[in-house]
Amino acid sequence: MPRVESSTLRGLSICGGDRTCGAGTVGRVEGPAGSTGPLPTGLERAGASARSALRSRFFKEFLGFGGSTLLEQASRLLSNLAAAAVLGPTVWGTWYLLNLVLRYGTVTQFGVINGMNRQVPLHNGKGEHAEALAVRSTSLGFLTVSNLVICSLAALGAVLFTSGALRLNVVLTLLLLITQQLVSFTLTSLKASTSFGSVSRLQVLTAVLFPLTILGAWRFGLPGFIAAQAAVNVLIVASAALTMPSLYRMTHDWSRARALIGIGLPIMLVGIADAMFSTVDRWVISSTMGVEPLGVFSLAIMATSALGMLPQVVSQQTYPRIAFAWAARGSVEEIRRLASRQRVLSLVLVAAIAVPTFLLAPWVVTRFLPEFESGVPALRVALAVPLVACVGQGYGAILHVLGRQTWYLLIILACLAVNVAASLLLVRSSGLVGVALATVIAYGCLAMGRVIAGTTALRSAAGTSAPAAR
């Protein structure tokens, strides 16, 4: 086999010394005796790149992490569908409104987890491993205090100002939020350190445990469904604590926590704006059509969320590598290449699942969820959302790593306005299908905004050095 030599054939240092994580330009080919030959053809270069990718740590990691994510999401999706069938469209619509507490509830950590997710790979990239550990323990200490205080106050408010089933469901949802934040800390800590093997094991455990939520819904209704999810989260954290006790060492260092808030709050605000953007459909449908249509439309929400998980897997693998590479080498070309790989791989994965889902959805819903059958047309339109979103994949990570959160936030807010206007306009004429179409349009605008802003940020960063890992 000829050996390829090139000064630009580079991989990722974070890939554990595997210099074949990604291929750049292919130079001269040298045979066994040292003789040179002609430059390889495009097909040969593609074959070499494919073989290199198959040998890379990233690809092997993706198989384990991606496989466990698929298993977890399949378990969640099937369990949710079963719970929806048990509870019915109206109660399920109520759950999707309560679920907004979880979507917006990240505000309770004031961006500390977001700051940790950025700073841990930056510190590791600079060889500051002790500081990376200190950031992690400080994050857990602050998260624990802030969540207990804020959620306790919110639960007190629910007890004072609500009654009956609503009071119980709100209090249980706040309990679920606390446990969800602990799981988020656990997984974010491991991903920031590229410990995806540990993440995969926890995801498999989640896949095994999550069907317990069906039993909770069947036996106790919506309160049982919410409480069962909280119980699953507690078991996940307990399992991680038993196998990785050092992960839960906490310190209460206000000065370091304040620095993390300064770094993570802008990133968190982008996440909150994105949550608002992605939940416009729920607000519009519930306010104009009612809770039951929202329950029916939840099929589209679940389908697009499930399809979006594989791009999220690739994103979670890529983000710490981009941060590490920028801190270690300050190479614009390297982070551009990583983002491009994320984008292409995400699009291929989504397309491979979206097409059969589009074809099979009507039969599956009619056969197993007849009460939700009116939501099938909207579901099929909404399947374009993750495909359109893939166009902007990778650029969000670039904006975060290069410190352009303000740009990102303005883009999301502008697209949020587009989403609200289009949804309110189209829901009147086309109902649920109109809302789904408006969502596709809004995601298309967001993807193009990411591309333009990310490309501009890369041009501005050329020739500059990596930011200090504060």
- Classify burial at 74, counting beta carbons within 10 Å of its beta carbon; exposed 0-12, middle 13-18, buried 19 or more: middle
Contact 140, 185 (CB under 8 A): yes
Euclidean distance between CA atoms 155 and 158, whole angstroms: 5
Query: What's the pTM?
Result: 0.70
Q: Any idea what DSSP says for residue 36?
A: B
| CA-to-CA separations, 56 to 18, 49, 406, 458, in angstroms, rounded | 7, 10, 35, 26
Euclidean distance between CA atoms 288 and 283, whole angstroms: 8
Place of tokens 């408006």: 438
Q: Print pLDDT tens along the chain (470 aa).
A: 333 333 333 333 333 333 333 333 333 333 334 444 444 454 454 445 444 544 556 666 667 777 788 888 889 989 999 999 899 988 988 998 898 888 888 888 888 888 888 878 778 777 778 888 888 888 888 888 888 888 888 888 878 777 777 888 888 998 999 899 999 889 888 887 777 788 889 999 999 999 999 999 999 999 999 999 999 999 999 999 998 888 888 888 888 888 888 888 887 888 888 888 988 999 999 889 988 898 889 889 888 888 887 787 778 778 778 877 887 777 788 888 888 888 888 888 888 888 998 999 889 888 888 888 888 999 999 999 999 998 888 888 888 788 787 888 899 999 999 999 999 999 998 999 999 999 999 999 999 999 999 899 888 877 555 554 44
Number of residues that make up the chain: 470
Contact 415, 277 (CB under 8 A): yes
Query: What pLDDT, on the 0 to 100 scale, is given for residue 41?
Result: 53
Contact 277, 421 (CB under 8 A): no
Tokens encoding 279: 């939940």
Query: What pLDDT, on the 0 to 100 scale, is given for residue 26?
Result: 34
Q: List, in sequence order, the alpha helices (H) in 289-404.
A: 291-307, 309-329, 332-368, 376-382, 384-389, 395-401
Q: Angle formed by the axes of helices 164-192 and 212-243, to 10°?
A: 40
Euclidean distance between CA atoms 214 and 218, whole angstroms: 6
Query: What pLDDT, on the 0 to 100 scale, is given for residue 385?
Result: 92
- Parse the chain into domains and list their residue ranges: 3-52, 58-259, 279-470
Euclidean distance between CA atoms 281 and 52, whole angstroms: 42
Report helix, strand or coil for 4.
strand
Contact 418, 375 (CB under 8 A): no
Report helix, strand or coil for 16.
coil
Bridge partners of residue 4, in order along the sequence:
29
Count of C-beta atoms within a 10 Å radius of residue 385: 27
Query: What pLDDT, on the 0 to 100 scale, is given for residue 199?
Result: 85
Euclidean distance between CA atoms 195 and 46, whole angstroms: 30
Query: What pLDDT, on the 0 to 100 scale, is given for residue 52?
Result: 52
